[in-house]
Amino acid sequence: MTGGAAVAAAWLSSATTVPTGPATMPLTIPAGIAQQSAPTPTQIDLEREVTRLTARLEQAPRPRMPARNPFTLRPRVPVVAPVAPPTVSRPQLPSQRELAGVPLGRPTVTLAGIGRERTPTGTRHTAILSVAGRVVLAHVGDDVIGRYQVRTVSTDAVELLDLQEDVSLHLSLP
């Protein structure tokens, strides 16, 4: 029997026997398998293909450095504002409202967007407002920065009530 036939016979005979307890026999490799080290035709073909592709890769053109890299940012050039010549002015006296701690004029409120949410009772609109550099999400009846109250929110506009001046402010999307 050849080495391969002996291994096949051993495998078939072991498949028909049922072990009754834990295996106590040490695992040994048959001498025919241990001595077999000649490469198979498939291994030889694989080695040839790897060698061929490696040689082809070495001859392939290398990519040039790109003119720009989309994953890096150029450093920003600081914008220098022109310096105005110093002017001599008289100091202004604060007004009564400034002395009371109330800022002059209304704070700037802009409508940045409107969100829509489905609820069991219907559609609920959320006004996305920009107030003094902050984003505020408001619904009907909400208080905005202690000065405005949201009266209505529709699909493209919001109506606010200025609580200090008792004036309605209508904001719409651009």
- Start-end of H helices in 60-101: 96-99
User: Among 76, 83, 144, which Cα is nearest to 111's?
Assistant: 144
- Lowest mean pLDDT: which of 2-6, 19-23, 62-66, 105-109? 19-23
Residue 5, class by beta-carbon neighbours within 10 Å (0-12 exposed, 13-18 middle, 19+ buried)? Answer: exposed
AA identity, residue 111:
L
Would 5 be classed as within a structural domain? no
Would 114 be classed as within a structural domain? yes
Would 112 be classed as within a structural domain? yes
Q: How many domains does the chain have?
A: 1
C-alpha separations of 12 from 17, 22, 169 in Å: 9, 20, 91
Would 1 be classed as within a structural domain? no
Would 64 be classed as within a structural domain? no
Q: What is the pLDDT of residue 50?
A: 94
Q: Residue 126: which pLDDT band, with cuts at 50, 70 and 90? A: very high
Which pair of tokens denotes residue 87? 């002017």
Report the percentage of the chain scoring pLDDT > 90.
24
Domain assignment of residue 163, given as a range: 108-172
CATH number at residue 127: 2.30.30
Would 166 be classed as within a structural domain? yes
Looking at the DSSP bridge assignments, the partners of residue 110 are 130
Return the beta strands (E) in the chain as ranges: 109-119, 122-131, 134-138, 143-144, 148-153, 157-162, 167-172
Residue 17 in this model has a pLDDT that exceeds 90:
no
Looking at the DSSP bridge assignments, the partners of residue 161 are 149, 168
Would 72 be classed as within a structural domain? no
Mean pLDDT of 48-62: 89
pTM of the predicted model, to two decimals?
A: 0.40
In contact, 30 and 3? CB cutoff 8 Å: yes
Residue 48 in this model has a pLDDT that exceeds 80:
yes
In contact, 130 and 114? CB cutoff 8 Å: no
